[in-house]
Amino acid sequence: MPTRQRVLITGAGGHVGGRLFAHLTTSGTRTRALLRSQQSLPEWASRAEVVFGDLDDASMRHEILRGVDTVVHLATRGFSSVVAPANQVLQAEEDISLSLHSDAIAVGVSRFVYLSSIHVYGDSLVGQVDDSTVTRPNSDYGRSRQRIEERMLHCSLATTTQTVVVRLTNSFGVPISRRPETWNLLIHDLCRQVVSSKAMVLRSDPRISRDSMALCDVVEVLANIVSRAQPLQGVYLLASGETMQLSHLAGLVQRHAEEVLGISASIEAPFRQATVPPTFTLDTRRLRDEGVRIPNNRSQEICDLLRYAQQEFGRVSV
């Protein structure tokens, strides 16, 4: 891969995309960022090539792929337990993602990175889970991501384009620009509750397990994947590797809220299932075998998110 490669980020205004856009641009990577609509951008964005447009426009896809070495495709929505995306929305994202991948192969892009989701595992998310665990999605969202993965990997066979599918765990962190929908994410919601009411109410069984990865760690690994000279191909699970119960995650937020905001927040867990929820561990062995380090800055990202929540919702002087 060229040292001064040009990287295209689709969905550069999104939850993960915004942070990756900032990370690559400020670290000197030649970045082309695709955003859906006109918006004000931070000063550092002037160092990148910013394009506004929609991927369902074939001429737009051809234009943004010109001269690109690596594509990081993030222009698909993340899973939401609050509002599930409609099937027609998922189908549209599927069609657009596969068209972009096909166009990238046609113009000779060296590496295509697709950000998928651990929701493809579905019913297999029990016990030890790694890159090779059989996928058994149990939601329309998971099935859609599984189809995209399979089609991309199949279409890249016998081509010179390396297709890298990154199955991302739950992630959290301070957004580059305001994104109200992210406050529905678990740790975001807990931070908001701390600031708004000095109390956290868990809306699910506190024994449910989650692997939650800080956005700063996610983008560090993605940047490593982008810049690696060695070939990469296939599925790579990206997770913190540390599973915690919801009650323990809330306890972590509680402790950091006391440290950084001086707020003593209570924790309430009014809901409990009849059966004990299954536990799992996500093993990122393929990335580790490639020599990719998986950082863990969860506590720092929680502290930053608490400060951000204080700016957005704070009523308490600190």
Question: Looking at residue 231, which CATH number applies to its domain?
Answer: 3.40.50.720
The pLDDT of residue 15 is: 94
CATH number of the domain within which 307 lies: 3.90.25.10
Task: Indicate if the alpha-carbon torsion angle 269, 270, 271, 272 is positive or negative.
Answer: positive
Listed in sequence order, the residues at least 6 apart from 17 whose beta carbon sits closer than 8 Å to its beta carbon are 9, 10, 11, 72, 74, 75
The pLDDT of residue 79 is: 57
Tell me the pLDDT of the chain (318 aa) as tens digits: 434 689 999 999 999 999 999 999 999 999 999 998 888 899 999 999 999 999 999 999 999 999 999 999 999 876 555 567 788 999 999 999 999 999 999 999 999 999 999 999 999 999 999 999 999 999 999 999 999 999 999 999 999 999 999 999 999 999 998 889 899 999 999 999 999 999 999 999 999 999 999 999 999 999 999 999 999 999 999 999 999 999 999 999 999 999 999 999 999 999 999 999 999 999 999 999 999 999 999 999 999 999 999 999 986 444
Tokens 């001086």 belong to which residue?
262
> For residue 140, what are the domain limits?
6-171+213-238
Burial level of 196, CB count in 10 A (0-12/13-18/19+)?
Answer: middle
* Cα diameter, the chain: 61
In this structure, are 163 and 261 located in the same domain? no
Concatenate the DSSP letters of all residues of 79-111 into one string. P-SSSPPPHHHHHHHHHHHHHHHHHHHHTT-SE
Burial level of 277, CB count in 10 A (0-12/13-18/19+)?
Answer: middle
Cα separations (Å) of 223 from 213, 257, 269? 15, 30, 38
Q: Which two tokens stand for residue 18?
A: 């915004």
In this structure, are 10 and 151 located in the same domain? yes
> Using one digit for the tens of pLDDT, what is the confidence trace for 260-305?
999 999 999 999 999 999 999 999 999 999 999 999 999 999 999 9
In this structure, are 69 and 189 located in the same domain? no
The predicted model scores a pTM of 0.94
For residue 134, is it within any domain?
yes
For residue 289, is it within any domain?
no
15: DSSP letter:
H
In this structure, are 18 and 131 located in the same domain? yes
The pLDDT of residue 80 is: 55
How far is Cα 241 from Cα 139, in angstroms, rounded to an integer? Answer: 23
Cross-sheet strand order for the sheet of 49-52 = 49-52, 30-35, 6-10, 70-73, 111-117, 162-168, 234-238
Listed in sequence order, the residues at least 6 apart from 38 whose beta carbon sits closer than 8 Å to its beta carbon are 52
In this structure, are 73 and 122 located in the same domain? yes
In this structure, are 197 and 303 located in the same domain? yes
The pLDDT of residue 82 is: 58
In this structure, are 121 and 200 located in the same domain? no
In this structure, are 102 and 178 located in the same domain? no
The pLDDT of residue 178 is: 87
Burial 94-118 (b: 16+ CB within 10 A, else e): bebbbebbebbbeeebbbbbbbbbb
CB 113 within 8 A of CB 69: no
How far is Cα 38 from Cα 244, in angstroms, rounded to an integer? Answer: 39
Listed in sequence order, the residues at least 6 apart from 178 whose beta carbon sits closer than 8 Å to its beta carbon are none
How far is Cα 17 from Cα 176, in angstroms, rounded to an integer? Answer: 9
Number of domains in the chain: 2
In this structure, are 84 and 143 located in the same domain? yes
In this structure, are 21 and 65 located in the same domain? yes
CA angle (104, 109, 110) in 5-degree steps: 140
Listed in sequence order, the residues at least 6 apart from 3 whose beta carbon sits closer than 8 Å to its beta carbon are none
In this structure, are 192 and 57 located in the same domain? no
